[in-house]
């Protein structure tokens, strides 16, 4: 059933993207996830796969701090601008939202599509400013990856096109395990502000010999294969004269970086027979690798929302109340395999 669930999610996504982007155009893809969060990188790889299906060529790629509007115009004079999907449409991660609003303000003449995002604003003033900036743009589409947000966002942004679209990470398709599992459980536990439970509260006797981890920046090991080059790109991009010269090189470098981060994440998730996680994309990695997944909700409830919207189609994905219940269920599932 998981295979058909993934196929169904992918087909729904292709239909939406065909409608809002259109086939066969050159595009600019902005806000490359220039960090080690493998979930955002999985979204990026999924977006590339969907764009390839549409026959769309990514002719300009940048991170939020390597963007140059003039270089983008030269590379992609006519095609749409795509803004990276994820969980940053709001004020929790302001630097990325502020970047989106800068791009929207600077390009009123261009078609812009904000790829599937989670909506989360806690500051009314920040939301009011965002609404004002978005409303000014005559051709802006907002893709939302959770159904329950759709009506509210359509009401908040009446001048923009608002559509539901599943998380683009599913576009990466089925993944192959890096090795045979050597643990019953991989517990992928958030350590950031989106966590509802402190990792220190995980009971040692319950966790046992499970592998407990999170997305993390690896400065050594596999990280040495990409972060020095990434740092150089950002450094050179502080000087406008260098940006046109390094645009093609940075595109190739970012692509290679995404492959390295993906490979590292696959190696980690492959180590468990069952994945227990409060990370949305920890769950998607597990599902794409064909593993049973046990979910725990996070602070902005995007995990339970994703379960309602598409994980529930897969009979090996389970939603629990907390990590105690999740680990117990995970062990039961591992024993039954």
DSSP per-residue string spanning 236-254: HHTSGGGHHHHHHHHHHHH
**Domains of the chain: which residue ranges?**
2-172
- On the question of pLDDT at 177 being above 80, the answer is yes
Mean pLDDT confidence for 85-110: 96
- On the question of pLDDT at 29 being above 70, the answer is yes
Mean pLDDT confidence for 39-59: 97
pTM for the model stands at 0.95
**Which ranges in the chain belong to alpha helices (H)?**
2-20, 38-53, 69-75, 94-106, 124-135, 150-156, 204-207, 227-237, 243-270, 280-288, 302-309, 323-335
> CA-CA distance, 303 to 296, in Å (whole number)?
7
pLDDT interval class at 1 (50, 70, 90): very low
For the chain, give the percent of residues with pLDDT over 90.
81
pLDDT of residue 164: 97
Determine phi and psi for 120, rounding to 5 degrees.
-155, 105
Name the CATH architecture for the domain at 2-172.
3-Layer(aba) Sandwich (3.40)
pLDDT interval class at 206 (50, 70, 90): confident
- On the question of pLDDT at 219 being above 70, the answer is no
pLDDT of residue 200: 67
């Amino acid at each position: 059933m998981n295979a058909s669930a993934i196929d169904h999610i992918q087909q729904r996504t292709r239909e939406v993207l065909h409608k809002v982007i259109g086939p066969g155009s050159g595009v600019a893809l902005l806000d490359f996830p220039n960090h080690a969060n493998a979930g955002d990188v999985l979204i990026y790889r999924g977006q590339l796969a969907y764009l390839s299906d549409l026959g769309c060529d990514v002719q300009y790629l940048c991170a939020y701090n390597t963007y140059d509007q003039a270089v983008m115009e030269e590379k992609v004079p006519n095609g749409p601008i795509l803004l990276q999907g994820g969980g940053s449409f709001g004020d929790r991660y302001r630097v990325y939202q502020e970047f989106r609003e800068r791009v929207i303000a600077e390009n009123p003449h261009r078609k812009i599509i904000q790829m599937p995002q989670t909506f989360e604003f806690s500051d009314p003033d920040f939301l009011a400013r965002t609404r004002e900036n978005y409303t000014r743009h005559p051709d802006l589409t907002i893709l939302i990856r959770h159904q329950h947000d759709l009506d509210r966002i359509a009401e908040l942004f009446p001048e923009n096109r608002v559509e539901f679209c599943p998380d683009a990470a599913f576009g990466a398709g089925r993944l192959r395990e890096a090795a045979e599992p050597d643990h019953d459980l991989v517990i992928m536990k958030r350590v950031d502000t989106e966590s509802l439970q402190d990792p220190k509260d995980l009971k040692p006797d319950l966790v046992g010999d499970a592998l407990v981890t999170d997305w993390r920046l690896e400065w050594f090991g596999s990280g040495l294969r990409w972060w020095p080059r990434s740092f150089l790109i950002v450094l050179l991009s502080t000087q406008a004269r260098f940006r046109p010269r390094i645009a093609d090189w940075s595109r190739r470098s970012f692509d290679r970086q995404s492959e390295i981060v993906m490979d590292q994440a696959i190696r980690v998730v492959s180590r468990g027979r069952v994945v227990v996680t409060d990370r949305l994309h920890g769950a998607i990695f597990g599902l794409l690798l064909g593993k049973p997944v046990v979910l725990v909700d996070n602070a902005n409830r995007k995990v339970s929302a994703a379960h309602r919207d598409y994980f529930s189609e897969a009979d090996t994905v389970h939603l629990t109340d907390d990590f105690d219940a999740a680990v117990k269920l995970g062990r039961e599932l591992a024993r039954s395999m």
